[in-house]
């Protein structure tokens, strides 16, 4: 079962920095993410979602390929490609994978303009190593599906002062 964690940051750049850190940890097999989305409250009051993957573009590419292939069989490759791309883009736009977009927009509506919420859907993680990497990064936990102990450990890690790394001295 996956766990949802929502952390609010003062800027979109800070939320993106933490998302990149989580994606790097995923490459090291410390965490396995199902989804990681940044929701930014704009000055106009609108909430903009920054997804990891654009399903509309992916659908258009896939549909264009299959449309071209089928169109080539029936000797109308350009028509097939354009119809395939259009139908693929439509299907991609209607597909919602990961965290529900309406839920993210609704929860982010209460943010201050300029703030960003990082929504992370976690399949599994090595808790102690992930929390150690997030130590002192700031942010406010808005909502989680973690148990109380893990949620408090996350809050403590975000609020902690990062331990400075001391480079080894030459000649010692």
Alpha-carbon distances of 137 from 73, 94, 144, 159, 161, rounded to whole Å: 55, 35, 17, 7, 8
Mean pLDDT (the chain) is 80
**Class of 3-52+98-159 per CATH?**
alpha beta
In this prediction, residue 117 carries a pLDDT of 94
Between 131 and 52, the more confident residue is 131
Indicate the pLDDT class of residue 57, thresholds 50, 70 and 90: low
64-97 confidence digits (pLDDT tens): 566 666 666 666 666 666 666 666 555 655 544 5
Taking the domains of the chain in order of start, what are their residue ranges? 3-52+98-159, 55-94
Q: Taken in order 19, 21, 24, 26, is the CA torsion positive or negative?
A: negative
In this prediction, residue 40 carries a pLDDT of 94
How large is the average pLDDT for residues 122-139? Answer: 91
CA distance 128 to 30: 10
Q: Of 127, 126, 132, which Cα lies nearest the Cα of 163?
A: 132
In this prediction, residue 5 carries a pLDDT of 93
Its pTM stands at 0.70
């Amino acid at each position: 079962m996956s766990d949802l964690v929502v952390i609010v940051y003062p800027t979109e750049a800070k939320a993106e920095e933490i998302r990149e850190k989580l994606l790097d940890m995923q490459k090291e097999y410390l965490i396995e993410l199902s989804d990681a989305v940044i929701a930014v409250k704009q000055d106009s009051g609108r909430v903009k979602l920054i997804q990891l993957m654009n399903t509309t573009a992916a659908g258009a590419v896939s549909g264009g390929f299959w449309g071209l292939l089928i169109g080539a069989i029936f000797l109308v490759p350009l028509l097939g490609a354009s119809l395939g791309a259009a139908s693929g883009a439509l299907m991609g736009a209607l597909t919602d994978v990961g965290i529900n977009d309406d839920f993210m927009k609704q929860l982010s509506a209460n943010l201050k303009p300029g703030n960003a919420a990082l929504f992370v859907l976690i399949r599994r993680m090595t808790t102690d190593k992930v929390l150690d990497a997030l130590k002192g990064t700031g942010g406010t936990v808005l909502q989680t599906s973690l148990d109380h102990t893990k949620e408090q450990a996350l809050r403590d890690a975000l609020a902690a002062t990062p331990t400075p790394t001391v480079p080894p001295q030459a000649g010692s």
